[in-house]
Structure 1
Amino acid sequence: MNPRNATHTTHHWITTPISSDILRGALDLEHTAHGVLPHRLPARARAQCSDGQLAMAEAQPSGVRLAFRTRATAVEVDTLPTKRIYVGAPARPDGMYDLLVDGRPAGRAGVAGGNTLTIDMTTGTAEHRPGPPGTLRFTSLPDRVKDVEIWLPHNETTELVALRTDAPVEAVPDRGRKVWLHHGSSISQGSDAASPTTTWPALAASLGGVELINLGLGGSALLDPFTARALRDTPADLISIKIGINLVNTDLMRLRAFTPAVHGFLDTIRDGHPSTPLLVVSPILCPIHEDTPGPSVPDLTALSTGRLRFRAAGDPAERASGKLTLGVIRDALARIVEQRAPEDPNLHHLDGRDLYGEADFAEMPLPDQLHPDAATHRRIGERFAELAFTANGPFTDHSS
């Protein structure tokens, strides 16, 4: 394939309205002045929280993809991205779009331009500046009927302005694949993965042969009731929730609040999915917070040299007063699942250190002390697929 930003060529373009028929992985579509903005939380949930971090994370379309059947050999998508700039930190690369043809990687490209959001982590302020849309273009696609997917950037807010092809498109028929609904933190959203199809949930979904709905919300996996209701109300065959790191990052609650909040979160999910396989995943290894509470704060010494790193600002002695660490959270989650399991045989638990533990950290350390890099995303995705989708894993189909 030959992906690049470009203007129109001699192709005879057909413009197709962008609707939920050809968009997967979003729970809501907002019509804007430019086109449509995919959301990963429904409007009612968004109305219940004015937090800017949540608003940014849920509008970044991790796991969201255009999916259609066509014999087109060229595809253009006009998009309006919002680029993040962190004051004092290295410039971030443009968000990536991944092209799949009949399920196989067939191209990758970014879109320049767009809005910018300049974030100062030392003051907690952000400044938004408007910019122009850009055009994503893929050419030389096979001249046959095929299923095309364009995965949107997992870490860049993306308004979809127009879809053009040189042959008609139609929705992809239901392939009978199970739907996996996952919720977690920025690690689940994709953090520093190389591209949208190489976040660990996307990799695991591909290996497991399932359709992904990714509610990984950077900085925002906080046991919010509106997120639990979104999980409750979203049709799914398999569900997982990965809880812990954001509650420590934000120093949001103590153990006294955490335990009933987890029970309530699970109760709400079960109101809509009483017998769906439900996997509770505890945090992966993160040495700065294993025994030291939050909050997480930028390491200003590293930032002064242009490197983005985080440190734990809590005191290990504060565990005695109920402050949360990753070790405390893992123990609590294991107890909660064990307590509920006799009445809920489809509830399961996975220790996150089975996905990324001490040996992995020694080999592949977290570059900023919090987030895995691209190679580590691949390892976590492969391990999750092996543990959840094969052998006696909780997502294995035992009906056959």
Structure 2
Amino acid sequence: MEFPVSAESIAALVQGAAELEATAVGLRPHRLPTWARARGDAQLKLAESQPAGVRIAFTTTAPRVTLTALATRFGYAGVPPRAPGVFDAVVDGSVVASASLGSAVVVTLDMSTGRTTTTQAEPEALTFDLGPDDGTARRVDLWLPHTESVELVALAADAPLRPAPAAERTWLHHGSSISQGSNAATPTGTWASIAARAAGVDLVNLGFGGSALLDPFVARVMRDTPADLVSVGVGINIVNGDVMRRRAFTPAVHGFLDTIRDGHPDAPLLLVTPILCPIHEETPGPGAFDVAALAEGVTRFRATGDPAEVAAGKLTLQVVRTELARVVRDRRDANLHLVDGLSLYGPADAAEHPLPDALHPDAATHRLIGDRFGAAVFAPGAPFGG
């Protein structure tokens, strides 16, 4: 006997999203509320609609569950497309099945003309084997793709589904595409998901590709989002976007943290400095695609700034780390802690774990970063140790 789940009931099962938009097809999870999306640019709107860290969480005795969904994938003309997004089924903490939609709406931007083309697709059903029914209710988390937007159309199972309980603690994190999970193979394989699952906390992932820019409205969202643990990773997008100078950067970090503290005055708060990125350690932005690599079918980035301009206030990752350490020192906040990104991925790791596109870690390196973050931050006596 099949137990279909209504759209309203699907909404009750979703965790890690700010809101669900009702579309003509189904429900689209968003990681920022409507008012905040209205204040962002196209890049941020694209990134926040990709449901990194969002999952459908329930308990059931069902041996199978079927999710019908429609994905929207974004790419650039002339740039190799990303692999299709992955849905992970996790039963009582273990990944038991993964699947991708065979087709999707594809939006392609031609950077030379600014024009986009869009293909069409229909929703598809994905069935996940959860293991035999032994009469015992199990917790199931269906992790949604971190690299493509998804509309949830229908959900059905062989037994009733009930909302899964929340964890004792919620971790709210904001960062760049690395926090969103760029180049990780699966949604449970992003470094933030790895650390959260190992620690047994609920993750709210506000990692936005290209968009960790100290936007005041993102700080307000974080201020108003219930959380027990809060962290902010900042630096790489500021540098590779070339959007600030040192004079503006440091006060902007203070302002961002001030707003978060308005809503979370005593929560453990981490300021995470950038991991190693050799192209931007001593060279400012802006960053750009490596055109020669693209001609060979390889996606790679490069820094185009002039190191001589650092003296005049241009930012590099080395400058950013120095300024972030100064922010933590000057604030004299006993619950504010600095996490050195180089301790998560640093010069000693570059030979064995090179960044394949010169900017983002690969799947194995996400695992390395997630494990190290968990050991440093969630261990007994550490800032998130409980």
With the shorter chain as reference, the TM-score category is over 0.9
Which stretch of the first structure deviates more once superposed, 135-144 or 72-81?
Answer: 135-144
1:221-241 deviation per Cα after TM superposition (whole angstroms, max 9, x unaligned): 000001000110000000000
1:38 aligns with 2:33: no
User: How far apart in 1 are the matches of 2:304 and 2:160?
Assistant: 56
Which residue number corresponds to residue 73 of structure 2? 83
Pairing partner for 1:24 from 12, 15, 32 = 15
2:365 aligned with 1:389:
no
Aligned counterpart in structure 1 of residue 49 of structure 2, from 59, 69, 94: 59
Show the 5 A alignment for 1:1-400: 12-17=2-7, 18-49=9-40, 51-121=41-111, 125-139=115-129, 141-143=131-133, 144=135, 145-175=137-167, 177-341=168-332, 344-397=333-386
Give distance in 2, aligned partners of 1:39 and 1:233.
Answer: 16
- More deviation, 329-338/383-392: 383-392
Alpha-carbon distance in structure 1 between the residues aligned to 2:86 and 2:128: 13
Find the aligned partners of 1:290 and 1:126 in 2 and give their Cα distance: 34
State the distance in 2 between where 1:124 and 1:388 align.
43
User: SS in structure 2 opposite 1:363?
Assistant: coil
> d(CA) in 2 for partners of 1:186 and 1:318?
26
Deviation of the 1:56 alpha carbon:
0.6
Residue-by-residue CA offset, 1:282-320 (whole Å, 9 max, x unaligned): 000000000100000000000001000010010001111
Deviation at 1:70, TM superposition (A): 1.2
Moved more, 138-147 or 51-60: 138-147
- Counterpart of 1:393, as a letter, is A
Contact 1:121 1:298 in 2 (8 A): no
CA deviation after TM superposition for structure 1 residue 349, in Å: 0.4
**Cα 1:296–1:125 shift into 2, 3 Å:** farther
TM-superposed deviation, 1:172: 1.3
Q: How many residues align?
A: 383
Name the amino acid aligned to 2:89.
Answer: L
Deviation at 1:142, TM superposition (A): 2.8
Give the 3 Å change call, closer, same or farther, for CA 123–283 of structure 1 in structure 2: farther
- Cα shift at 1:249: 1.3
5+ unaligned residues in a row in structure 2: which ranges?
none
Distance 2:151 2:4 in 1: 20
- CA apart distance, 1:86: 2.8
TM-score (norm 1): 0.93
Percentage of identical aligned residues: 56
Task: State the shift of 1:139 in Å.
Answer: 2.9
1:134 to partner: Cα distance: 1.4
Tell me how far apart the structure 2 counterparts of residues 216 and 36 of structure 1 sit (CA, whole Å): 21
For residues 136 and 315 of structure 1, the distance between their equivalents in structure 2, rounded to whole angstroms, comes to: 49
Q: CA contact under 8 A between 2:2 and 2:156: conserved in structure 1?
A: no
Amino acid aligned to 1:311: R
361-370 or 19-28, which moves further after superposition?
A: 19-28
Q: Distance in 2 between matches of 1:40 and 1:291?
A: 33
> 1:123: Cα distance to partner?
5.1
Which residues of structure 1 form unaligned runs of 5+?
1-10
Counterparts of 2:15 and 2:166, CA distance in 1: 12
1:141: how far off? 2.8
TM-score, scaled to structure 2: 0.96
Looking at structure 2, the residues matched to 122 and 209 of structure 1 have their Cα atoms a distance apart, in angstroms, of: 46
CA contact (8 A) 1:14 1:167 kept: no
